[in-house]
């Protein structure tokens, strides 16, 4: 990448960088499992993982990673190119398996445990995963068993969930929740996770080429089509860890503690909640899912100071009457990713945690994932996703002409940097289409201001063409979120005989609040123009979300087509 002064004139964001952060700093591409094992060796007695109060030290973590890697090699012949699927929630088993696969030379294929069997079948079959690692929790195990019986994974490695719990909780779970456990019949094809660790096998040396060898085959969310496997090299993964580390300017070092309530199998959590803290030798406080009471309990017990999050989680914390600023006193930085952060949520959260920095970031599966982020040590520009990370170049391109647009003009955000994927697995056409002149096309529309701050407007695929004009759902959503009775809103475009497409707004009201469609449309008068005004406002008790809490338009489109479209 050209780093000359002439090129820097095309990078206005550099002048806005916080003091001490260098865009040109060397990006570390050492494979992340090597970094984590080095951190384990440096301070083996320090806590690495905390799961519901049970801890794993860095020394214990290293021993288990190496034992699992050795067993994968000796028992199953895992080598470079072997795909190993992980279908695990946040438990200590995940980092052991994740780094164990990488240490053995294999490629991790993350699977969402809440996916249906057909959805999992596509991912596992497309990836050609030979092994799947999962839990004996019945609702998860039965999916893995179905995949194994169908031949989509030759071998199922099953961890015993109670072994992740502290002693007292383990006993209580075994008594009160034993019906939730499956009873695997172990064989040469269904193998106990614990038995593999007990072997104590030593992994052999694997010569990794960081820029060519694939660490993670991460499948896109599938919200706009069939999931594709993004090929993320070891260098891609470690580069993004290095970039975030530099952007944090010392944040991700002792005595910091990171709360991991977002699932590790999602690219955001995998990098920010797992790889970054563990490679720097600081503990990860795990929660298997988001429950407000449990999250507050973690703050009280651990005094953790970093919370990677998503807007819906932040909204839940901000809107809960039971949450007090004292309960969030240890929080220094909340990083919001996964979806646009509404301004109303930003303000509401600030009332609950006035001292914490709420930094919005932006990324995608194809970029390992972080591209831009607001400053983590001082307040940034509201409504901006911040500045490009060190070593990252961006540009905005006119959606129709493909020409680069100027400062302040909307266009498609495109990215270059060491974190950008190599391509999609077994999909040459999609790999060609996602790049333009060597730049990754993100599908997101936005602009950059004169100081290099990036602002997103919407997804290209979510854009509503109404009477020939571009209507951005996010503009309508922001306007509706300003109403005191509105808790959540999601806007989609639907076919319209007169205008081509028209916006429809789905609303969840706050508990105890009321508002009619007429009330909300009256409220929007003067804020939205006639073209942007929703044709219809539909009230719902809950809005569909992805597992990480991102509001999902896919289900709303399907629901509207079934329930409303047929009537029109």
Express each pLDDT in 16-40 by its tens digit.
Answer: 999 999 999 999 999 999 999 999 9
- Rounded to whole angstroms, the Cα distance separating 358 from 377 reads 10
Express each pLDDT in 98-145 by its tens digit.
Answer: 999 999 999 999 999 988 899 899 999 999 999 999 999 999 999 999
Q: First vs last Cα of the chain: how many Å apart?
A: 54
Q: What's the chain's Rg over C-alpha atoms?
A: 24
Residue 66 is predicted with a pLDDT of 98
List, by residue range, all CATH 3.40.50.980 domains of the chain.
Answer: 32-207
Calculate the alpha carbon distances from 273 to 8, 411, 549 in Å.
32, 31, 16
Sole residue written with tokens 């719902």: 540
Residue 222 is predicted with a pLDDT of 56
**Domain 32-207, what architecture?**
3-Layer(aba) Sandwich (3.40)
The mean of the pLDDT values for the chain is 93
- The torsion angles phi and psi of 236, rounded to 5 degrees, stand at -55, -50
List, by residue range, all CATH 3.30.300.30 domains of the chain.
Answer: 463-567
Three-state SS at 148: helix
- Rounded to whole angstroms, the Cα distance separating 503 from 524 reads 13
**Domain 463-567, what architecture?**
2-Layer Sandwich (3.30)
- Bridge partners of 190, per DSSP, are 156
Residue 293 is predicted with a pLDDT of 96
Residues in Cβ contact with 526 at an 8 Å cutoff, skipping those fewer than 6 apart: none
Residue 536 is predicted with a pLDDT of 95
One digit per residue, pLDDT tens: the chain, 568 residues? 444 556 788 899 999 999 999 999 999 999 999 999 999 999 999 999 999 999 999 999 999 999 999 999 999 999 999 999 999 999 999 999 999 999 999 999 999 998 889 989 999 999 999 999 999 999 999 999 999 999 999 999 999 999 999 989 998 888 888 899 999 999 999 999 999 999 999 999 999 999 999 999 999 975 446 889 999 999 999 999 999 999 999 999 999 999 999 999 999 999 999 999 999 999 999 999 999 999 999 999 999 999 999 988 999 999 999 999 999 999 999 999 988 888 889 999 999 998 999 999 999 999 999 999 999 999 999 899 999 999 999 999 998 899 999 999 999 999 999 999 999 999 999 999 999 999 999 999 999 999 999 999 888 888 888 877 778 898 899 999 999 999 999 999 998 877 788 999 999 999 999 999 999 999 999 899 888 999 999 999 999 988 778 899 989 999 998 886 445 4
Among residues 260, 205, 254, 206, which one has the least CA distance to residue 50? 260
């Amino acid at each position: 990448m050209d780093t000359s002064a002439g090129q820097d004139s095309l990078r206005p964001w550099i002048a806005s960088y916080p003091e001490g952060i260098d865009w040109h700093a060397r990006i570390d591409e050492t494979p992340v499992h090597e970094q984590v094992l080095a951190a384990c060796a440096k301070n083996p007695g320090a806590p690495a993982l905390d799961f519901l109060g049970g801890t794993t030290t860095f020394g214990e973590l290293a021993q288990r990673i190496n034992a699992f890697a050795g067993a994968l090699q000796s028992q199953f012949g895992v080598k470079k190119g072997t795909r190993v699927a992980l279908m695990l929630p946040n438990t200590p088993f995940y980092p052991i398996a994740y780094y164990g696969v990488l240490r053995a030379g294999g490629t991790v294929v993350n699977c969402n445990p809440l996916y249906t069997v057909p959805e999992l079948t596509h991912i596992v079959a497309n990836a050609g995963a030979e092994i799947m690692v999962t839990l004996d929790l019945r609702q998860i195990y039965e999916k893995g068993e179905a995949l194994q019986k169908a031949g989509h994974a030759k071998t199922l490695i099953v961890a015993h969930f109670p072994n992740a719990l502290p002693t007292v909780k383990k006993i209580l779970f075994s008594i009160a929740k034993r019906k939730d456990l499956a009873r695997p019949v172990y064989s040469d094809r269904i193998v106990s996770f614990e038995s593999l660790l007990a072997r104590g096998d030593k992994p052999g040396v694997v010569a990794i080429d960081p820029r060519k060898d694939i660490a993670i085959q991460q499948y896109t969310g599938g919200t706009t089509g069939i999931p594709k496997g993004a090929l993320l090299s070891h260098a891609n993964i470690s580069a993004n860890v290095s970039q975030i580390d530099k952007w944090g300017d010392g944040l991700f070092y002792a005595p910091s503690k990171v709360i991991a309530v977002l699932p590790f199998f999602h690219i955001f959590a995998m990098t920010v909640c797992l790889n970054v803290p563990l490679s720097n030798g600081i503990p990860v406080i795990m929660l298997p899912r988001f429950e407000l009471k449990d999250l507050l309990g973690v703050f009280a017990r651990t005094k953790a100071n970093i919370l990677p999050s998503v807007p819906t989680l932040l909204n839940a914390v901000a809107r809960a009457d039971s949450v007090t600023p004292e309960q969030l006193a240890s929080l220094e930085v909340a990083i919001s990713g996964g979806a646009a952060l509404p301004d109303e949520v930003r303000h509401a959260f600030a009332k609950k945690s006035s001292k914490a920095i709420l930094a919005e970031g932006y990324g995608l599966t194809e970029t390992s994932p972080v591209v831009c982020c607001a400053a983590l040590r001082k307040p940034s520009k509201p409504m901006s996703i911040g500045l490009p990370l060190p070593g990252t170049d961006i540009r905005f391109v006119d959606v129709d002409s493909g020409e680069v647009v100027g400062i302040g003009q909307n266009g498609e955000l495109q990215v270059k940097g060491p974190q950008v994927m190599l391509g999609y697995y077994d999909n040459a056409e999609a790999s060609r289409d996602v790049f333009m002149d060597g730049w990754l096309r993100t599908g997101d529309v936005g602009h950059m201001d004169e100081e290099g701050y990036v602002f997103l407007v919407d997804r290209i695929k979510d854009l509503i063409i109404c009477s020939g004009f571009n209507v951005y759902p996010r503009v309508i959503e922001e306007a509706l979120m300003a109403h005191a009775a509105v808790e959540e809103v999601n806007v989609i475009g639907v076919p319209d005989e007169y205008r081509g497409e028209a916006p429809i707004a789905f609303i969840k009201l706050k508990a105890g609040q009321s508002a009619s469609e007429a009330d909300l449309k009256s409220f929007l008068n003067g804020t939205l123009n006639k073209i942007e005004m929703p044709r219809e406002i539909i009230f719902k008790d809950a809005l569909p979300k992805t597992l990480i809490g991102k509001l999902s338009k896919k289900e709303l489109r399907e629901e509207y087509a079934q329930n409303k479209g047929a009537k029109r």
